[in-house]
């Protein structure tokens, strides 16, 4: 099963993707992760990515599509989760063409609905383990009392510099401007389903599971 997770920054797409990977054997295709992996891979595509990133240039849609093509031609496991791609109509069209080329289909687009004010409050309380990237939140999931990450035992935690109210509002506006058209795009294709992105992690997971199992 191939799905897209749509949602603004901090909606919890990565967390939900990890649960689907763990429980359903799906493969998460996160644009950022793929670029970092490619940069260090030494492949021809990896060299292109490394050059672009070294120059501080923008990674083109063609490069991202090329990375996704490599993944689609490999192990398919329980299907793919597209996280952070597509962000625009042009990217959505390119992804559809690529899936068809690889004999794949897009089964569902799960949109995580959030309240912006609640989302900002949640993200400004967010921190991550410097070793494994496990996400913590001062309100909903505090760093353990012993100061050690519950996943890897690390003791270094950090907050993103742009996890502040002003930056978040700018990022949210940018997200809505770019992706609002995707909502209509996938609704018209009868692929879209909404879930409450601000529920507890388990509740959101259950909603997503119900959508996929339907």
Question: Who contacts 10 (Cβ-Cβ below 8 Å, separation ≥6)?
Answer: 119, 122, 123, 126, 168
Is residue 160 among the annotated active site residues? yes
Using CA atoms, how far apart are residues 5 and 56, in angstroms rounded to an integer? 27
Is residue 126 among the annotated active site residues? yes
Is residue 159 among the annotated active site residues? no
Instruction: Characterize the bridge pairing of strands 192-196 and 108-113.
Output: parallel
Using CA atoms, how far apart are residues 118 and 165, in angstroms rounded to an integer? 11
**Per-residue tokens: 89:** 């109509």
Is residue 87 among the annotated active site residues? yes
Instruction: Characterize the bridge pairing of strands 135-137 and 126-129.
Output: antiparallel
Place of tokens 């494994």: 132
Report the first-to-last Cα separation within the chain, whole angstroms: 12
**Per-residue tokens: 50:** 């490394």
Residue 126 — φ and ψ, nearest 5°? -90, 145
Is residue 171 among the annotated active site residues? yes
Place of tokens 């001062």: 138
Query: Which one from 76, 126, 141, 191 is the annotated catalytic residue?
Result: 126
Query: Which one from 87, 108, 141, 148 is the annotated catalytic residue?
Result: 87
Identify the CA nearest to 166 among candidates 125, 120, 116, 127: 120
Active-site residue list:
13, 87, 126, 160, 171
């Amino acid at each position: 099963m191939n799905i897209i997770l749509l949602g603004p920054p901090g909606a919890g797409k990565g967390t939900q993707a990890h649960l689907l990977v763990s429980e359903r054997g799906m493969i998460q295709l996160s644009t950022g992760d793929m670029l970092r992996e490619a940069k260090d891979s030494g492949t021809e595509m990896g060299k292109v990515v490394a050059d672009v990133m070294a120059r501080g240039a923008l990674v083109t849609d063609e490069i991202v599509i090329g990375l996704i093509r490599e993944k689609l031609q490999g192990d398919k496991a329980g299907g793919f989760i597209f996280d952070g791609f597509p962000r625009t109509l042009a990217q959505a069209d390119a992804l559809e063409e690529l899936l068809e080329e690889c004999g794949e289909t897009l089964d569902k687009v799960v949109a995580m609905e959030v309240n912006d004010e609640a989302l900002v409050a949640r993200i400004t309380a967010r921190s991550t383990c410097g070793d494994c990237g496990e996400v913590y939140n001062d309100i909903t999931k505090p760093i353990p009392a012993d100061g050690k990450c519950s996943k890897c035992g690390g003791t270094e935690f950090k907050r993103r510099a742009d996890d502040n109210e002003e930056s978040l509002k700018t990022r949210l506006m940018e997200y809505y401007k770019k992706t609002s058209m995707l909502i209509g795009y996938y609704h018209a294709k009868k692929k879209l389903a909404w879930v409450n992105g601000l529920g507890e992690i388990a509740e959101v997971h259950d909603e997503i599971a119900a959508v996929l199992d339907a």
